[in-house]
């Protein structure tokens, strides 16, 4: 079963989401320490066919790359080296943290659970991936 992986990269933590096999919807998967993300993805790829990576691209409101873009660029180099056969696409990640918090509130998560940054990262990755999937629908 082919899967598209959504990634919300951060210096400390990386949110990971996965598409369903038909590429219709995204689900939060895991939050992984940034230092271990490539190992995590390699292990995941042993059990599932990874068709593509969709990585959140940090942008300012004016459309210019944000300061965090340099960190994402460094990650992209490592990702492409580890998975040379898997295409990588970038998706605008503006407002994903705000949308993740809103989704948690709307979903009835308790305030103490919403403070967990790991949850925010996973949900942000799912929002990034879902945004990309929605644009690819025929």
Which range of residues forms the domain containing residue 120? Answer: 2-136
Q: CA 137, CA 87: separation in Å to the nearest integer?
A: 18
Q: CA 125, CA 110: separation in Å to the nearest integer?
A: 20
Sequence-distant (≥ 6) Cβ neighbours of residue 131 within 8 angstroms: 91, 92
Pick the closest to residue 56 from 81, 35, 40, 79 (CA basis). Answer: 79
Query: Token digits for 58?
Result: 């940090």
The pLDDT assigned to 111 comes to 66
Q: What digits encode the pLDDT tens for the residues 14-70?
A: 999 999 999 999 999 999 999 999 999 999 999 999 999 999 998 877 877 777 888
Instruction: Please give the tally of structural domains in the chain.
Output: 1
Residue 58's Cβ-side half-sphere holds a number of Cα atoms within 13 Å equal to: 15
Q: What digits encode the pLDDT tens for the residues 64-95?
A: 777 788 899 999 999 999 999 999 999 988 76
The domain spanning residue 123 has which CATH number?
3.30.420.140
């Amino acid at each position: 079963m082919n899967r598209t992986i959504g990634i919300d990269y951060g210096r400390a933590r990386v949110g990971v989401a996965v598409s369903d096999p038909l590429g219709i919807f995204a689900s939060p998967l895991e939050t992984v320490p940034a230092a271990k993300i490539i190992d995590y993805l390699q292990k995941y790829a042993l059990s599932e066919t990874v068709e593509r990576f969709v990585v959140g691209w940090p942008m300012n409101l004016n459309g210019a790359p944000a300061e965090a873009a340099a960190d994402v660029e460094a990650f992209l180099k490592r990702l492409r080296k580890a998975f040379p056969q898997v295409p990588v696409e970038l998706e605008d990640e503006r407002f994903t943290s705000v949308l993740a918090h809103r989704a948690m509130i709307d979903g009835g998560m308790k305030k103490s659970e919403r403070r967990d940054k790991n949850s925010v990262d996973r949900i942000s990755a799912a929002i990034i991936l879902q945004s990309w999937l929605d644009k690819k629908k025929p």
